Structures are given as C-alpha cells and as structure tokens.
Amino acid sequence: MNTTDTLWVILSAALVLFMTPGLALFYGGMVRSKNVLAIMMNSLAAMAVVTVIWVAIAGSLSFGDDLGGGLLGNLSLAGLAHIPSSLPGLSGVHASSLSVLLYQMMFAIITAALISGGTTDRIKFSSFVILIAVWTVAVYAPLAHWVFSPTGWLAHRGVLDFAGGTVVEINSGFSTLAVVLVLGPRKGWPRDSMTPHSVPLSLLGLGILWFGWLGFNGGSSLAMNGVAVSAVLNTQLAAAAGLIGWLIYERTTEHYATTLGAASGGVAGMVAITPCAGFVQPYAALIIGLIAGLACAKAVRMKFKLGIDDSLDVLGVHGVGGVIGMVLLGLFATKSINPAGADGLLQGGGFALLGNELLAIVVTASFAFGVTWLIAQAISKTIGLRVSEEDELKGLDLTQHAESAYSGGGSGRFSS
Amino acid sequence: MNTTDTLWVILSAALVLFMTPGLALFYGGMVRSKNVLAIMMNSLAAMAVVTVIWVAIAGSLSFGDDLGGGLLGNLSLAGLAHIPSSLPGLSGVHASSLSVLLYQMMFAIITAALISGGTTDRIKFSSFVILIAVWTVAVYAPLAHWVFSPTGWLAHRGVLDFAGGTVVEINSGFSTLAVVLVLGPRKGWPRDSMTPHSVPLSLLGLGILWFGWLGFNGGSSLAMNGVAVSAVLNTQLAAAAGLIGWLIYERTTEHYATTLGAASGGVAGMVAITPCAGFVQPYAALIIGLIAGLACAKAVRMKFKLGIDDSLDVLGVHGVGGVIGMVLLGLFATKSINPAGADGLLQGGGFALLGNELLAIVVTASFAFGVTWLIAQAISKTIGLRVSEEDELKGLDLTQHAESAYSGGGSGRFSS
Amino acid sequence: MNTTDTLWVILSAALVLFMTPGLALFYGGMVRSKNVLAIMMNSLAAMAVVTVIWVAIAGSLSFGDDLGGGLLGNLSLAGLAHIPSSLPGLSGVHASSLSVLLYQMMFAIITAALISGGTTDRIKFSSFVILIAVWTVAVYAPLAHWVFSPTGWLAHRGVLDFAGGTVVEINSGFSTLAVVLVLGPRKGWPRDSMTPHSVPLSLLGLGILWFGWLGFNGGSSLAMNGVAVSAVLNTQLAAAAGLIGWLIYERTTEHYATTLGAASGGVAGMVAITPCAGFVQPYAALIIGLIAGLACAKAVRMKFKLGIDDSLDVLGVHGVGGVIGMVLLGLFATKSINPAGADGLLQGGGFALLGNELLAIVVTASFAFGVTWLIAQAISKTIGLRVSEEDELKGLDLTQHAESAYSGGGSGRFSS
Amino acid sequence: MELKLITAIIKPFKIDDVKAGLKAVGVDGLTVTEVHGFGRQRGHTEVYRGAEYEIDFVPKLKLEIITNANQVDEIVNALVASAATGSIGDGKIWVSPLETVVRVRTDERGSDAI
Amino acid sequence: MELKLITAIIKPFKIDDVKAGLKAVGVDGLTVTEVHGFGRQRGHTEVYRGAEYEIDFVPKLKLEIITNANQVDEIVNALVASAATGSIGDGKIWVSPLETVVRVRTDERGSDAI
Amino acid sequence: MELKLITAIIKPFKIDDVKAGLKAVGVDGLTVTEVHGFGRQRGHTEVYRGAEYEIDFVPKLKLEIITNANQVDEIVNALVASAATGSIGDGKIWVSPLETVVRVRTDERGSDAI
Ligand SMILES: Nc1ncnc2c1ncn2[C@@H]1O[C@H](COP(=O)(O)OP(=O)(O)O)[C@@H](O)[C@H]1O
Ligand SMILES: Nc1ncnc2c1ncn2[C@@H]1O[C@H](COP(=O)(O)OP(=O)(O)O)[C@@H](O)[C@H]1O
Ligand SMILES: Nc1ncnc2c1ncn2[C@@H]1O[C@H](COP(=O)(O)OP(=O)(O)O)[C@@H](O)[C@H]1O
C-alpha cells in the first residue's frame, strides 16, 4: 500500500461524499419552499441506503471477481470483510483496496441522489428509497463493473471513461428519464409558476459541487501522479468553459445571463469532462466544457417541447453532458497525457476509440433506461410511486415528513 | 517527520476546524430566527477563544510531560514555542508534533462549541465566553490528558477511545447538562412552539459535519495507514446506519420520518463510532450506528418527561451516543483491525476492555458534570449566566449582538 | 516530482478554489436581497473568466521565463501546453509544476472576486467581466511575477510575502478603491439603510473562507514540511486573534459585540497573516492577528468620513490588513521558522527586511490603484461601468440577471 | 359615485384563477397580502425531534379591491365563482364602505382614482 | 343582522393567549397578518460594521375578525383582556362597519357566512 | 369625535419620506404591511433555465393610520405629497369610517386611544 496514493483516494472520497449534500442544496434551492426538505431528504436517503447496500453487496458486484464475460462481479467482497490487497484487474493500483471501495461507494451515492432532480415534488419518500435501493444493485453495480472494473466487458473492449461519463452521468440521466416517464409531470406543469425558492442555496450547492468535483475526477487516477494533476486541472477548465458556454447561449438567444444558468453551465462542463479528465490536454478541456455548456443550455429548453417534466434537468445536463463528454473523448483523448489511455480521432488514433465510446453510450443509456423503467413500473403498480394530488398541493415537506422548511416561530407560525 | 502522515493530520485538522461552522449552521437552523446569530456566535467564540487558550496553556496541560499519576501535563508546551519532535508517549507517531497539537486544538474547539446546543436562546454572550475559557482549562484539558495522551491515567489503564467518545462526546453531553441545570429552561418551554426556523440550514450543517467527521475520526490514527482507512470507512457506515436507525424509530413509533430526524440520526451514528472508528470491523460499525440511531432518537424524547431543557439535545445525542459507543467498543473491538487496540468481549477478549470502558464513561461523565456545574454556578452567582426575561423575549440577536439575522432592507425593515 | 508535495499543493488549490464560493456567500449575505445574486455572480464570473485567462496567458506572464528586469514573464507557459518540470526560479520546488500553476490560478480568481465587495449593487455585469479580464492580465499578472516568481524584481530584492499580502490583499484593496472612485457611491448611501439581508449566509461564508485559508496559506510552502505546518497553525491563530481584536474594538468603543464583526475580524486576522504565515512564530501570529482585528475595525468606520462607498470594505479589511501584515512581517520574521526567510527588526535582522516590505507596499498599492483606475475609466467612458438609476433601485438581480433570489412560488410570488 | 372596498380571503393556489375571473369583469387593480387564516379548515401537525406542534393557521391570500358601488355584486360573484373549490377553507369575502379614494400619483379623487 | 369587522394589532408573543381568549367568547374564525407597527413603543438599534441603524418598526400581528354586531363588545373585551401586558406597545383595536359577508365555498351571505 | 381609518398603498422605497411627511402633520402611530400590488404598473420577467415567468405583482407597502376625522384631509395631503414620484404605480389612498378605537394597554376608547 502506497500511503500517498491512499491519502489521495481517501481525500477524494471525502470530497465526493461532500458533493451529495452539495447536490441536495443545489436541487433544494431550485424547488418551491414546500418541497425543499423532501428533495434534500432524497439525497440524505441516498447517503444512508446506498452506503449500506454498497457494503453489503453492490460494491462486490462491481469490483469482485468477475463471474464470467465481464458481466458482474461475484460476492467475494460482500460485507467488506475480506479485502484483497489489490482488487481484480487493479494490480497496478497501490492505494489501499479498501480506500478504493470507499471512494467508489461515494460515486454510487451521488448517482442515486441525482435521480431526485427529476422526480422531485411528487415522488413518495418510501418509494424513492426502495427505488434507489433496488436500482443500486440492478443498474448501478452492473454498469460500474462493466466500465470501472478492468475485468468488465466494456473496459475490456477498450472503452475509456475516466470518472464516470457512463456510470454516473449517462446512467443518472437516462435512469431519471425512465422514472419521470412512469411518474408523469408535476400537477400544473408547465403552466404554473414553479420558480426556485432560493437561488443562493443553489449557488452554494454549486460551490460545493465544484469543490468536490476536483476530487471526483482527480481521485479517479487512484494515484497521486501527473494524471491526477491533469484531471484536476481539466475539471477546473471545463467548469469554467461550461459556465461561459451556457451564458453565451443565454445572452445570444434570450438577451440575459442568469446566475442559475452560470451554475448549470459549470455543472454541464464538469459532467462532460468527467469521462475525459485524465485523458485530454488543457485546450481540449476548454473545448469540451464550452460545447457542453452550449449544448446543455439548449437541451434543457427542449423538455417543454417534449412535454417531459424532468424537473431539474437530470437528462438535459447529466445525460446530454455525459454523451458529449464520451463522444469528445473519442476525438481528443491522447496518450501524451495518459499513457494508459488511447489516442482519439483528432489525435491520430483513428475511429477505434470513438467507436468504443459510442458503443458505451448506447449500451449505458439503453440499459439504464430499460432496467430503471422496469423497477419504476413495478413500484408504481404495487405500492405506488407518487403522492396523492392533495399531498402534492400541500407540499411534500408537510405531507411526507411532517415538517416545514422555514417557520417564523410562535404558534408555530409567527415570529415572536 | 513523515510528510504523508503530517499531511493527513493537517488535512484532518482542517476538516475538524470546518466542523465548527458546520455545527453553527446545524444548531442555527434549529433555533428561532431571533436567536440564530447568537448561537452561531457561540461557535465563532469557541473558534477564537479556545484557540488562544489551547496555544497558551490547555494544549500543554493535555499533551505536555505528565506531572505525575497521569493526571495532568505540565507547561512544557505552553505557547507552542518549543515543541519536541515527538510528544510524550507518542514516539510511535511520525506526523509532526506541531501538526498533532493543531489537530487536537480543533477537538477542543468543537467540544466547547457543542455546549451552546444546550444553552441556546438564553445564555449571556460574555458569560458563555468565560464559561468555555475556564472549562477548556479545567475540564477539557485534564480529560484530554487522561485519555488522549498515552501518559494519562485512563489511557495507561488500557481504556480505548479512538477519537473522543469520552473527551468530546460524553464530556460535551454531561458538561452541557450541568450548565443547563444551572441555567434553567427557556421561558415558555415546553409549552410554546419553538420550531426550527430553517431546516435547510441544519441539513447543510449536517453535510459539513459528515464531511468533517471523516477527518475527525480518520485523523486520529495520526498516520496514513490501514487503520485510518478503516476509521474513515467506519464513520461513513455508522452515519448511514444511525440515520436509518433514527428513521426506523420515528416510523415505527410516530408514523413519519423527518429530515431533522435523519440528520440527527447521522450525527448519533457518528458520535457512537467516534471511540470505535479505528478498532472495529465494518459490520460492527453498522451495528453500532444503528443502535445509536435508535437509542438517541428515544433519548431526545425523554427530556420532556425529565423537564430538562437541553434545547438541541447535546446530552441526548452526544452524551448518550458517546456512552453507547464506549460500551459497544468493549464488545466489538478487535486487534484484527488495529493491533494497537484490544479484543472486546464478543471478540474473545473477555471483560477487561469492557470494564475499562465503563470506568472511563463513569469517570468522564462525573468529572465533566461536576466541574462544569461548579464553573456554571460560579458564573451564575457572580456576573450571571442568563439574559433578562425581556431580552430573552426580544431575542438574543438583537439584545446581545445588536443585529437581526434577516432583514428586508429599506427603513431597516422593508425590501425596497 | 514529489507526490506528497504535489498532493499538498493540489489539496490547497482545491481549498482556495472553495474560498471563492465562500466569498460569494460572505458578500452575498451582506447586501440587500435585491442584489444578492448579482454579487454572487461576480464571484462565479471570476471563477470562469480568470480561469480561462490564466491558462491562456496570465499564468505565463506570472511564472514564465522572465522577459528582463524581473518585470514580466514571457509566453512560454501559455495554454499550459508545455510545462517544464520546474518553473523558473523554483527549482527547489518538487511539487509538479502544473499543480503549482493550478494552485496559483486559484489566487488570481479570488483576488478578482474580492473587487466585487466594493462595486456591489451598482456595477454592470458585463462591465465587471471585462474589468476583471483586463485586470488579471494588466494588474494581477505583473504583481504575481514581481513577488511570487523568484525571478521577479521585488522577490529578487528580498521582499518576503508568503501567500500574497501584496499580490492578493493590498492589490485587491487598492484596485477596489480605484474602481469605487470611478463608480461613485450607491444611490442613497450612506443615508439609506442598507442592512445585510442574511447574516447567517455571511457567517457560512466566513466558515468556508476560514477552512480554505488554511490551504491558501499552508499551500504556499509548495511542500509538505515544517513550514507548511507553521503556516497552517499561524493562520488559525491569527484568525482567532483577529476575531477577538475586532470584538474588543466594538465592545470598548460601541458597547456591543456583533457576529458580523466577529466574522470580519477573523478575515482581518487571516489577511494580515497571509504574508507572514510561513515566516513567524505562533506568538507573533497572535499579535499580528490582534492588531489587524483592531486596526481593520477602525478602518472600516472611516469610509463614512471619507465619503467613499467601498461597500463591503475591501480596502478597509484587505488593503489595510495586507499593509499591517507586510509591516509586521518586517518586525517579526524569523529564520528559526523558515531558513529561506529573513530576520525582521525585532528578531535582530535590522531594517533591511522592513525596508523591503515598505517598498513592496508602496509599489503594490500605487501600481494596483493606478492601472486599475485607468482600466475602470476606460470602461466607464466607453460602455459604461454602472447600471441606470432605475435598475439600481429595482435591484441588480432582476435587471441584470432576470432573477429573484428568493421567491414564494405561485403566480411567481406567493407560496402555494 | 359611492365607493366600496371588497376584501377576499382565498386559497393561495387559486390566485391565478381569481385574477383571470376578476379581469373578466373589468377589475384591473388590486392589492394582495399573504395572511394566515384560522377557521373550520384543519391545520396540520409538525414534528421536530419528537416534539409535536399543531399548526392551526393555514396560509391564505387576502385580496383588497376598491371599486364603484355598482360593480360590487358583479365582482363578488366573480370572486365566488373563481375562488371556490367546494372544500372547507375556501375563504370569505366582505364589503365595506369607503369615503374617499385618492390616486397618489395625480391626486385624483373618487372614481377617477381607481 | 348587522355585521362588523374588528381589527386588532397585538404583540406577536400574545397570539396563543389571544386565540384562547377569543375561543372562550365563541370566535372560531379569524385572519392574521404579520405587520410592523410604529408608535410610542421604542424600536431598537442595529449595528453592522459600525453603521448604526435605528429601527423604529416593531413586529406586530394584525387580527381581523368578522362578527355579528351584537358580539362586538364581548370580543373587544376579550381581546383587551387577553392581549394586554400593561407595557407600551400592546396595540390597538378598531371596529368598522361591513355591508356584506360571503362564504366563498357556499355563496352564503350575511351572518350565515361567518 | 368621529374616527377614520386611512389606508395607503405606497412604493416601498418611499417609506422614509412618507414617515417624515406624516410626522410633520402630527401622525405618530401607524401600522405597515408588506403587500403586492397589481395595477397599471408593469411587473417584470424572470427566467430560470429558459422558463420565462411574467411577474405582474409589484412589491408595495400598505400603511394604516387611525385618526380623528378632522385630521383626515391634512394626512391625506401629506401622504400624497410625500409618496408621489409622478410615475405609474405610486399607489392609492382610501378612507373608511370607524366605529370604535381601543388602546389595548389601558382600555381607553375613542380619540384617547389613538
Ligand atoms: N370570523 C372570521 N373573521 C375573519 N376571517 C375569517 C373568519 N372566519 C374565517 N375566516 C377566514 O376565512 C378562512 C376560511 O374559513 P374556514 O372556516 O376555514 O372555511 P370556510 O371558508 O369554508 O368557511 C379562514 O382561514 C380565515 O382566514
Ligand atoms: N394611529 C395609529 N394608526 C394605526 N396604528 C397605530 C396607530 N398608533 C399605534 N398603532 C399601532 O399600535 C401599535 C402600538 O402602539 P404604541 O403607540 O406603540 O403603544 P400603545 O398601544 O401602548 O399605545 C403600533 O405598533 C402600531 O402598530
Ligand atoms: N382597484 C384597486 N383596488 C385595490 N388596490 C389597487 C387598485 N388599483 C390599484 N391598486 C393598488 O395601487 C397600486 C398602484 O396602482 P397602479 O394602477 O399600478 O398605478 P397608479 O397608482 O399610478 O394608478 C397597485 O400596485 C395596487 O397595490
């Protein structure tokens, strides 16, 4: 065990863990004040439930010995009781295996939490908990095995994905789409005004996400080396360029530049750089971020035409941004940054990598959408996925959690 | 000096430092809007006053050369001017001594800040400052010496406490109880409604606490090694299980699951794992967290019967959670995780460790309660501990600090 | 490349990055609710625009090969495409060069963002963006070269500045003064009430700033060693002492102690210790912090007499605090903490260092003020620096960004 | 012409419907206040760490409309029609006499000021 | 039956007492607004980085109660009894005439609507 | 002595001027409510991720002043003088009859209670 590498992985794990409360704030600020606790609670639930499921089984399904064909890991790591000094296929990694599993746990948590951005304001709390519990095992773990474990079939084919363009971003985007289609739009959407109740809360969330994302991408080198430094730098560059791209879109098409747009652009840039962070040069990171900012700004405006109430744009930002990142990785990847990577089309590597990336996009989107749709349908048909109309009107904070986010005080209502 | 170990300790110090503003938010959200600044100011005061006192004297009383019998350190480290390359009894530690003292300073800060959770809404600011200044020297430093310095009498007897189940958790719980008994309940408690003015602020605080606690427990290995990794992992597991435990309690006894309950459960789990983090296996961390979540949920509901206005449940969460952690450590500790530890009852180690842990619980609770009660009485009898009734009604923000937390603007009141 | 050093620098870079959203909150809480998004957006803009400009050119102007006379770097590092294994003059640094450039980028970002504290509530968003873009090249980069690059003329003369007392603090203070003089005061200032709309937001910002500043100063050793530990410790001590100093000023002259004062004092202490962090002993850090707290508390009260609406006191806190830090460094610097430093007047080093520090203060303040004034004038005379009176009255959130920070919900206004 | 003040308490989520209903009868000015009502409609329970609070105040909007006396009936009917959901808590309307109305901008008085 | 509107300005922390006092005389509906009052009661000073602000607006609650004319005295007395603390700033009560009251849900008018 | 209630809707940023104007004519008590007005004055547009919202409710302050009838004209004129900016949306004033006024603290009634 290399202690510096382990320290880097542990630090990155802490940063990724911190992203989930950051996401809770980012999302919480965007909903109406009657639903802010409910959506934050979804993130808290992910922090608790996914942790337990990861330790119990999902971590092992992802990183245990391959059961065959690169399709799934076995239960050798279940309970994290007996951890080999290096995980299957990761013998080149000198960070402690346990630290790697801890770090990867944080990815599963935030990916599950992302789904709440689509389902907010109407999903039953208990159903959300069941949804993400099943989904972590049935959707997340297989995808993580395919891509993040070197023994997985996509990784084995040569698919590159530095920190989760597929497993985290495309997966969350298309999984959310599936749940949203089963759930239906919010009552009153899009006619009623559903403005963010606290944009500063969302900007704070963005700040935490940005901070954490440096570890999210940086830590994926699983070692403190030049690749890690590049990954951190590229994340910063793509966030900046994404922010600028989104604002350019707004200014040129709609004559204003919003703070929520800036925040969303920063996220879009970081989403897109996620698969690329340790494989591309700084100039490419700027291009990738800029394109993602522009494209995701456009994408989130299309849901109104499609009539899909993906409330906080998980598909538009994470799904679309993830696809963009994977495609552009096929163009910009270069071994000069990471010898363990590959050269993309524009780096003289031909179409091989691009083909692999496209395959991974299609596979991830289809698998995530399909299986999640089945899970959502099953829950919907049994215990129900959605609160009653009356409860939705009153707000989920009161009706799901018996709480008000903000209260004045006296008589439970007036400041005294 | 080992640079990686030092880096880990410094990073952990920064994370623990960050927990105190996190606590200020966690607490600040739970009080009425007229008292939010006052309780946050208590945490700020701890960050300032305890820092100075620690450097001047308390750090040396805790970690200086033992004066005899393991009861107190001498003043060899006062002013942090002449620091030996290893602290007394810590020759196996290769992180810089100064970094260890810095890291330990952060523990003293947050422990002092925790007291404000019981005394909120009615304690005079100046009295709070004097209280924690004296308390850091008279209560915290001796306890830290007994348990955290290997030359302290409890440590020497074989008491295990990884990161402060006694020094931080039981200590803060019972110290707060003492101050609260001297102070009396808030005017109107429990009849009047005193609902949290901003639950999102508390959830943000929880997010920061969770993030920081990874360093709080992880750093206590004072080295980047397998024990540190275990400690971080166990903290995450206990937080998750504690959150689940608290919600189970709420759902089964009161038919709802609240976000404040989830946050409180996460804290309860982390409190209980604090003494255990580097000594137990992952499955044990889950059990410890779960029990703490259930038990603390029950405990906070008992103050109404006892008529003790421990306003934000420092005793119910930190006192009770700390006791649970220490007891369960006596059951679950295992040398397989940490050869420098011991085997608990369920790990074939017999009753030796359990006995030691029980002794430490009793000693810590009695000492903290007793000495703090004397300090609080002395202040109460001299300059007074409590604001006037009128000031309490108007709120401490206005009357202690001449500020309003939130204001509309124009004419000092209306947005313009 | 030393991996531990690199890890420390990367971690510090992340911490400094996090300070900018922290600053956005610190500032955001202090303005009226109609301008909170606008001022936060200024920080977001700095995170995006300065990043791109740094990579493109400013990083190279700062740390590229000296063009002659220590006045400016060349474009050898432009685009961060070809990075030597050590930067000019920094051959003793073993952290990766790219990590150092990343870390330094974060300094440029926050220094630009600081300017918004003076210009808030009335500056046009587009003009602010242009201002900081030009300023990063024309003001920040030269100063960074002079002081932070060992090949710069001030550094070469023997000026000591550990983490930016000149480049960050004095620079931001006097640059802001220049813009504010061109811009003029806010409509209604100082007659109208302009109370902070959310002090808890500011306190949260302070918490993040304090956390991040440990890395801001600590990382400036560019290595994990005893100097880094001292720098982190001294930062904590000066923050604590600054907080206490400011409160002492308030209590003795105005009979109250405010939370915003506490927060401001913490910042003042950290500003003043910034140039000194790795060069002085703990007792000196306490003195420096205390003096800064007292002096900056006094300084911010003088703007009313001078009639200068430096709205959130960038000059009073960062300008004055930076000057104090540089002067006191001339007194307290000691080679016993950092052999690469010098001995100050009180440490038997004579007037040499003090003279250098005074020179650096004068040079920085004049250069920053002068060039920034020209830039601000140029913008003011062309596209204009300030929004219309009507827009200022309505608030910048609505008129610059088409957003409201807080909204109730239904009909865009009332919670439903 | 005599002037009246119509005050209506309504459920917040009906504000858009009510605005439309009022527009249809020619009302193009009104003032809205966020209020809390107490009446037959049950409130709700909130729980924080086991402490239960019965909140019987329900959020409502209060609308104030100044109008000529001859339009009162029409407006009241429009309010009832657009604000009613049929469930408890739909609110109240009351009408009070006015003696003067002034437009601040122009100092116009009476009907002209509306 | 004639109808009246009783408006009361009270200190916020008295709301529970007042609610109880009103219940005792048969009032089971009212509407509350958070307001700021200005009067004899002194406000307070706030200070932010040395800038002092005199805030003379004091938080109050405004209660509006529609009732039959014959109950006005009883209700006003109950208000006075339950809201008074004896210190400056306890507030005011005023009574105004009403011409109609309507229950939105049922379109009932007059006393039936209360 | 007859009593009246004067209600004024004003632009929020005029509150200090209005307070001064009222003091000059001897008003030393009033109650303020934050309200939203809808009228001729245009609102504004907000945009969040491309979703545009027209907000036509404009923030206003409502002032309520109880006074003796013989002072009504003077107060109304002072209000107009101090609240007017000349641009659309300056607000309205209306005057209503009152039947009683009570000071809660002392149970004084009528003019003495003001
Ligand atoms: N006597 C009253 N005086 C003033 N307002 C009242 C009165 N009674 C009811 N209200 C207002 O009307 C609202 C609805 O009344 P409620 O009794 O709940 O149902 P309904 O309108 O169906 O009779 C209340 O929330 C309150 O705001
Ligand atoms: N002339 C007035 N018109 C309207 N409201 C008033 C008037 N005078 C006082 N008030 C209201 O009554 C409250 C209490 O009045 P104040 O003069 O402070 O004390 P008191 O009620 O003891 O006379 C004020 O805060 C204000 O809300
Ligand atoms: N008919 C009305 N009833 C009640 N309030 C009104 C009415 N018309 C206007 N108002 C109030 O007066 C404010 C100003 O009215 P508006 O028509 O915008 O401009 P002006 O005062 O110049 O006529 C509105 O925002 C609203 O609060």
F49·A195 Cβ contact <8 A? no
Residue B187 has a pLDDT of 95
Pocket of ligand 3 (CB under 6 A): D 29-31, 64-66, 103-105, 114; F 9, 37-41, 58, 60, 88-92
Mutate to test the pocket of ligand 1, among E7, E19, E28, E31 (most ligand atoms within 8 A of CB): E31
Count of CB atoms situated within 10 Å of the CB of C81: 11
Which residues from C are below 8 Å from F13, CB to CB? 393
Q: State pLDDT tens for residues B215-253.
A: 999 999 999 999 999 999 999 999 999 999 999 999 999
Report helix, strand and coil shares of chain B as percent, to nearest 5. Answer: 70, 0, 30
Element (DSSP H or E) covering residue B183:
helix B171-183
Q: State pLDDT tens for residues B337-366.
A: 999 999 999 999 999 999 999 999 999 999
Q: How many helices (H) and strands (E) does chain B have?
A: 19, 0
ipTM for the assembly = 0.97
Residue B412 has a pLDDT of 45
Question: If you measure from the C-alpha of residue D16 to the centroid of ligand 3, how many angstroms do you get, rounded to a whole number?
Answer: 18
Instruction: Give the gap in angstroms from C-alpha F52 to the nearest C-alpha of chain A.
Output: 9
- pLDDT bucket at B411, cuts 50 / 70 / 90: very low
The CATH number for D63's domain is 3.30.70.120
DSSP class of residue B186 equals P
Instruction: Give the gap in angstroms from C-alpha D40 to the nearest C-alpha of chain C.
Output: 19
Nearest CA to ligand 3 atom 7: D29
DSSP class of residue B341 equals S
CB pairs under 8 A between A and E: 19
Q: Which residues pair with D10 in a beta bridge?
A: D61
Residue A413 has a pLDDT of 52
Q: F50 and chain A: CB distance < 8 Å anywhere? A: yes
Render each residue's pLDDT in chain C as its tens digit; 416 residues.
Answer: 999 999 999 999 999 999 999 999 999 999 999 999 999 999 999 999 999 999 999 999 999 999 999 999 999 999 999 999 999 999 999 999 999 999 999 999 999 999 999 999 999 999 999 999 999 999 999 999 999 999 999 999 999 999 999 999 999 999 999 999 999 999 999 988 899 999 999 999 999 999 999 999 999 999 999 999 999 999 999 999 999 999 999 999 989 999 999 999 999 999 999 999 999 999 999 999 999 999 999 999 999 999 999 999 999 999 999 999 999 999 999 999 999 999 999 999 999 999 999 999 999 999 999 999 999 999 999 999 999 999 999 999 999 999 999 985 334 456 54
CB of F101 within 6 A of ligand 2: the answer is: no
CA dihedral B81, B82, B83, B85 (to 10 degrees): 140
- Please provide residue D96's backbone torsions phi and psi, each rounded to the nearest 5 degrees: -125, 155
Average pLDDT over residues B278-288: 98
Residue A248 has a pLDDT of 98
Residue with tokens 């979703």: F51
Report the candidate in B323, B302, B329, B325 with the shortest Cα–Cα distance to residue B313.
B302
Count of CB atoms situated within 10 Å of the CB of F114: 20
Q: Within its chain, how far is the Cα of C194 from the centroid? A: 24
B380 pLDDT above the threshold of 90:
yes
A partners (3+ CB pairs within 8 A) are: B, C, D, E, F
Indicate the number of domains in chain E: 1
CB pairs under 8 A between C and F: 27
- pLDDT bucket at B414, cuts 50 / 70 / 90: low
Question: If you measure from the C-alpha of residue D93 to the centroid of ligand 1, how many angstroms do you get, rounded to a whole number?
Answer: 9
Ligand 1, closest atom to CA E65? 3
Render each residue's pLDDT in chain D as its tens digit; 114 residues.
Answer: 799 999 999 999 899 899 999 999 999 999 999 999 999 998 899 999 999 998 889 999 999 999 999 999 999 999 999 999 999 999 999 999 999 999 999 999 998 988
E9·F29 Cβ contact <8 A? no
Pairing of strands E100-103, D92-98: antiparallel
Nearest-ligand number for the alpha carbon of E35: 2
Which residues from D are below 8 Å from B190, CB to CB? 51
Q: C390 and chain F: CB distance < 8 Å anywhere? A: no
Tokens (6 digits) for A49: 């439930």
Question: If you measure from the C-alpha of residue D113 to the centroid of ligand 3, how many angstroms do you get, rounded to a whole number?
Answer: 9
Range of the domain at D33: 1-111
Q: Coil, helix or strand for B333?
A: coil
Tokens (6 digits) for B349: 């180690």
Mutate to test the pocket of ligand 1, among E4, E6, E28, E30 (most ligand atoms within 8 A of CB): E30
Report the candidate in C401, B377, F35, B221 with the shortest Cα–Cα distance to residue A96.
B221
Residue C408 has a pLDDT of 52
How far, in Å, CA of D113 to CA of E21, rounded? 41
C-alpha radius of gyration, chain D, whole number:
17
Which residues from D are below 8 Å from B264, CB to CB? 49
Residue A285 has a pLDDT of 98
Interface probe for B, chosen from D34, D46, D48, D56 (most Cβ of B below 10 Å), is D48
Nearest CA to ligand 3 atom 23: F89
Average pLDDT over residues F7-19: 94
- Bond from prior residue into C142 cis (ω within 30 degrees of 0): no
Residue A408 has a pLDDT of 52
Nearest-ligand number for the alpha carbon of D89: 1
Instruction: Give the gap in angstroms from C-alpha F107 to the nearest C-alpha of chain E.
Output: 7
Residue C416 has a pLDDT of 47
pLDDT profile of chain A (416 residues), mean per 10: 97 98 98 96 98 98 97 97 95 97 98 98 98 98 98 98 98 98 96 92 98 98 98 98 98 95 98 98 98 98 96 98 98 97 97 98 98 98 97 95 78 50
Q: State pLDDT tens for residues E6-58.
A: 999 999 989 989 999 999 999 999 999 999 999 999 889 999 999 999 888 99
Q: D38 and chain A: CB distance < 8 Å anywhere? A: no
